Chain A
C-alpha cells in the first residue's frame, strides 16, 4: 500500500460508502452536542419521526449560554431565552436517551474540554460537534471538525456525514520553544503566517519537535485554532503522552480492550514518504510571545512590535486593516506594549484547562491586578475543583480576579459576561472579531501567561519581563 498520512488512515477506516464522484459517507464515532446549535436539529428529528441512531455515542452538555456565577442552578439567573435553550437540551437529552452533563453536574464544562477529560475522545476516532472548535480533539489524533445544524441532525439520525476528502497539509514546528512562549503563541503565529484562509480545503497535521514537546493541554490549544487558519481539522499523531493522558479516564477502554486499542493507536502516524499537498515549516526558536492587534486572528504580531500601517498590506486587506484599527481604537506606529487594557478574560476551550490556569497563576502569584476587572472561567467543573485543590484559585482571588463556574462565558458573550462598547480586553480565547465579546468590545488574543501579565501591569506586556529568573 502506498504511504499514507495520519489523516488518510483515519479517513480510510471510517468510509461507509464511496460514490463514483468521490463523495463519501463517513462514520462518526463521537457526536458532541451543546444547547445553541442543536435545538433545530432535534426538532427536525421529531418532525420526521426519527430517533438518534447511536445515543451511546452522543454526548451533550450546556456551555455556551450558561451563567458562570454562583447559584446558577436557579433558573431566575438566566435570561428567558437562554433558559428556554438550556431547558430544551435537558429535554432532548432525556427524550432521546443521550449522555448528558447538566449544569448541576461537576463534570459540566465547555464541550471540547469535557470530551477529552471524560475519555470520550480517543485516537483514530471521528469526532464532530455543531461547533467550529471541535478541531481541539485533533490533539489526540482524532479526526475532529465542526458541522452546521443540518449536519448535526444528519449525524443524530444516521451516525454518518456526507463528506469529500480534504487535502493534506503539514505544519512542522522544528526545535524547541523559548521561555515564555506557549502553545497559544505557536497557534497564533501559524495563523499570522498562513492567514485565516491559508488552511481552507485542508486537514492540517501538526508535527515537529516543538509539538512533540507540548503537553496534551498544549496540543489541544494548537489544534483548537486550526479552524481560525481555515482548515477543516488539525491533527497531532498520538504518542506515549497521549496514552498516558487517556489511561484511567471514565470512558477510556480498560483491560483487554485497552491493550487492543493501544496496539491500534500505535499505527496512527504518517508513513515515511506520504504525500502532503502543502507544507509550512516554522522554527520553534523564531516564535515570540504574540498578541493580536486587529479583528481577525491573522492580525498577529510579537509583543515587541508596533501597530501596523494599513497601507503596508495589499488588496482587500488594506480596507479591512483600516476598519480594524478604527474599531480597535489604535493608531499605526503605536507600540503594542503601550496599549492599555480594561479587562482580562482567562478561559475558553482554547485556554481553560488546568495547565493554562497554572501558567497564569505563576505570573500572578504575589501580585495584584491593575485592570478594572479580571475573570477566570475554568473550562470544566473538574478543572475548577483541581485548581482549588492546587491553591491556584486562591492566587487568582488574592490578585483580584473573579473565580467563576465553568462555561464559554466571555469567549462569545452570549451570557451576561460581556464587554461594554470600547472596553478593551486581554483574552485567552480564540476570536477577536468585531463584537465577539460584546458589541463595540475590543479583544486582544494571547496566551494565559501574557493575559496574566497584562492584568498586573494594566497594559499589553511581554511576559518575559515578569518572569525574572525563569528567563
Chain B
C-alpha cells in the first residue's frame, strides 16, 4: 500500500448526498479477479452514455477535473455495498482523498486499506471546500495527514480527526496482516481458551 503523507491537488466537487458504491463502480465491473484497471469505469453510469461516450457535464469529464486527486462530496459518501472495488476504482483513477461530512462505515475502512484518506469535516467546512473545488484547477487544496489539516486555496485551514492507529498505518503504508501476525501468540492463546469455554463453535 502507498503511504499517504501530504497531498496538494485539484479537488472535484460532487455535492450529491448518499453517493453509493453502486454509483462509484457499477456491478458489471465486479467480475474482475484483479484490483487494478477499474479507474476507467469509476462512476461509469454517470460518466458515460450507454454506448460509451463521455457525458460532458459530469465533473470528472470536465477538462479542469480530469486530473483531480481529491473529491469533495455530499453527506454519507460510500453507502451501500461493501465492494472494495469502490476504493480500488477511485485509486486507479488517481483519487487519494475524499472529503465529506460523513462516510458509510465499510467504505471508510476500505479506504485506509488502500492508501486513500477519507476526511470527515463539519458541514460549514465541507461547504467552504466545495466552493473552492468549484473554482476548478486553479484552486488547489492541501491535505496534511500528519498535521490532520485540510487547507483551502484561500489559506483557510480545517482540522480533522482520525483514528491514531489508522493514521499510523496510512502514514507508513503498513500492511495490517503483517502487524496482526506479530500477535500470533495472543491468537493461539485465545483459541485455546475459547475451545474450553465454547467448544461448540
Judge whether A275 is part of the interface by a CB distance below 8 angstroms.
Answer: no
* B33 A25 Cβ-Cβ under 8 A: no
Chain A residues with CB under 8 Å of B103's CB are: 200
Q: Which residue of A lies closest to B33 (CB)?
A: A39
Q: Give the residue among B76, B110, B199 with the most A Cβ atoms within 10 A.
A: B76
- Contact check, A412 vs B76: say whether CB atoms are below 8 A apart: no
Task: Considering the complex, give the chain A residue whose CB is closest to the CB of B184.
Answer: A158
Interfacial residues of chain A within 145-166, with CB under 8 A of chain B in the complex: 145-151, 153-154, 157-160, 162, 164
Q: A148-B82, A316-B74, A435-B26 known; A164 and B32 CB under 8 Å? A: no
Q: Which stretch in B15-23, B52-60, B90-98, B135-143 binds the other chain? A: B15-23
Partner of B105, one of A82, A232, A296: A232
Q: Assess whether B173 is interfacial by the CB under 8 Å rule.
A: no
* Nearest CB on A from B34, distance (A): 7
In the complex where A17-B186, A196-B18 touch, is A433 in contact with B23 (Cβ < 8 A)?
A: yes
Which of B27, B75, B105, B106 is within 8 Å of A414, CB to CB? B27
Interface string of B178-201 (1 = CB under 8 A from A): 001101001100110010001111
| A contact residues around B190 at 8 Å (CB) | 16, 27
Task: List the B side residues contacting A227 at CB < 8 Å.
Answer: 106
Question: Do most interface residues of chain B lie in helix, strand or loop, or is the interface mixed?
Answer: loop
Cα(A184)–Cα(B32), bound, Å: 33
Cβ of B50 to closest chain A Cβ, rounded Å:
6
By beta carbon, the residue of chain A nearest B200 is A253
In angstroms, Cα B166 to Cα A19, docked, is 13
Q: How many A-B residue pairs have CB under 8 A?
A: 184
Which candidate, A255-263, A339-347, A369-377, is the interface stretch facing chain B? A255-263
Candidates B22, B32, B113, B198; contact of A264 at CB < 8 Å? B198
Taking a contact as CB atoms under 8 Å apart, the answer to whether B109 and A148 are in contact is: yes
Cα–Cα distance between A50 and B164 once the two chains are bound (Å): 28
- Shortest CB distance A149–B (Å): 4
Q: What is the chain A residue whose CB lies nearest that of B46?
A: A434
Distance of A37 Cα from B181 Cα, bound (Å): 22
Is there an interface contact between A23 and B187, defined as CB atoms closer than 8 Å?
no
Question: Which of A21, A232, A435 counts the most chain B CB atoms within 10 A?
Answer: A435
Question: Is A102 located at the chain interface by the 8 A CB criterion?
Answer: no
Flag if A196 contacts B76 (CB, 8 Å). Answer: yes
Query: Is B64 an interface residue when CB atoms closer than 8 A count as contact?
Result: no
Q: Note all chain B residues with C-beta closer than 8 A to A257.
A: 199-200
Residue contact A132 to B80, C-beta cutoff 8 Å: yes
Partner of B22, one of A88, A232, A434: A434
Contact with B along A350-379 (1 / 0, CB 8 A): 000000000000000000000000000000
**How big is chain B's contact interface, by range?**
35 or more
Q: Mark A62-97, 1 if CB is under 8 A from B, else 0.
A: 001100000000000001011011001000000000
For the complex, what is the distance from the CA of A160 to the CA of B31, rounded to whole Å? 27
A48 surroundings in chain B (CB, below 8 A): 177
Residues on A with beta carbons closer than 8 Å to the beta carbon of B198: 13, 124, 261, 264
A381 on interface, CB distance cutoff 8 Å: no
Q: On chain A, which size bracket covers the interface?
A: 35 or more
Residues of chain B lying within 8 A (CB to CB) of residue A151: 109-110, 113
Chain A residues with CB under 8 Å of B50's CB are 421, 439-440
- Selecting from A171-179, A302-310, A317-325, A397-405, the interface stretch reads A317-325
What mask results when residues 106 to 131 of chain B are scored 1 for a CB within 8 Å of chain A, else 0? 10011001100000000000000000
Q: What is the minimal beta-carbon distance from A187 to any residue of chain B, in angstroms? A: 16
Complex: how many Å from CA A439 to CA B80? 17
Q: Which residue from chain A places its CB closest to the CB of B188 in the assembled complex?
A: A16
Chain B residues near A435 (CB, 8 Å)?
22-23, 26, 45
The answer to whether B16 and A319 have CB atoms under 8 Å apart is yes
Beta-carbon contact of A150 and B23 below 8 Å:
no
Judging by beta carbons under 8 Å apart, are B164 and A21 in contact? Answer: yes
Q: How far is the CB of B104 from chain A (nearest CB, A)?
A: 6
CB-CB < 8 A to A388: which residues of B? none
Q: Is A31's CB within 8 Å of the partner chain B?
A: no
Is A434's CB under 8 angstroms from B45's CB? yes
Render A376-392 as a binary contact track against B, CB cut-off 8 A, 1 for contact: 00000000000000000
In the complex, besides A39-B33, A440-B50, 5 extra interface pairs with C-beta distance below 8 angstroms are: A84-B31, A146-B82, A158-B181, A200-B104, A434-B23
10 smallest CB-CB distances across A and B, nearest first, come from A253-B200, A150-B113, A39-B33, A148-B110, A81-B31, A316-B17, A148-B84, A146-B82, A149-B84, A132-B82
| Chain B interface (Cβ < 8 Å from any Cβ of A) | 15-18, 20, 22-23, 26-28, 30-35, 45, 50, 74-76, 79-84, 87, 102-106, 109-110, 113-114, 163-165, 176-177, 180-181, 183, 186-187, 190-191, 194, 198-201
